[in-house]
Amino acid sequence: MQIVAITNGGNLVRHGEILEALRKAGYRLTPQRVMVLSAMAKGKGHLSADEIYEEVRQAYPFFDLATVYRTLQLLVKLHLATAIEEAGGARFELVQEGSNQHHHMVCEECNGVFDLPPHYLNALKEQVMREVGFEPHMEHFTIHGLCADCREREEKKAVS
């Protein structure tokens, strides 16, 4: 088939690395897989299977949801992407490296998503590894709670 369009506003380097890793592992570089990766690199993180589906379908209307799921399963199996289980369905993210890596804080009040630099988890990771013998894999991590703004609002409410 012909690739109609592949746009990439995001993490181009990482995207290429992953294509390379796929090929090396003996998997075929089909246009569908390339487009899924483009969509994931473009929309930074936290995409649902359906969002990826819709994104790719704009360039290639015959694209199928089953292909999204099969590609995502493959990426997760090769540790090139991670699945984030959430109520209402899983979300997927390419594994990030170095300065691009980050965790998330989700506000239970306003549902806002905030980034947390990775170093915050280093101490915990090491301590668990050292004292418990369990090796944490926390390439991606989500903390639920209250953001600063909503916390302030709650406090005002409590006073009145």
Partner DNA sequence: GTTTCTGCAAAGCCTTTGCAGGCGG
Partner DNA sequence: CCGCCTGCAAAGGCTTTGCAGAAAC
Number of chain positions touching a copy of itself (CB under 8 A): 30
DSSP label of 80: S
DSSP state of 110: T
Which of the residues 47 through 106 are near a copy of itself (CB under 8 A)?
83, 85-87, 90, 105
The end-to-end CA distance of the chain, in Å, is 65
64 binds, among a copy of itself, DNA, none (CB under 5 to 8 A by kind): DNA
Q: Is 43 in the site for DNA (CB under 7 A)?
A: no
- Candidate residues 50, 108, 109, 154; the one interacting with DNA per rule CB under 7 A: 50
- Given DNA, a copy of itself, none, residue 58, with its beta carbon under 5 to 8 Å by kind, binds none
**Under rule CB under 7 A, residue 111 binds DNA:** no
The helix-helix angle for 31-42 and 12-24 (nearest 10°) equals: 150
Residue of 44, 37, 43 whose CA lies nearest to 15: 37
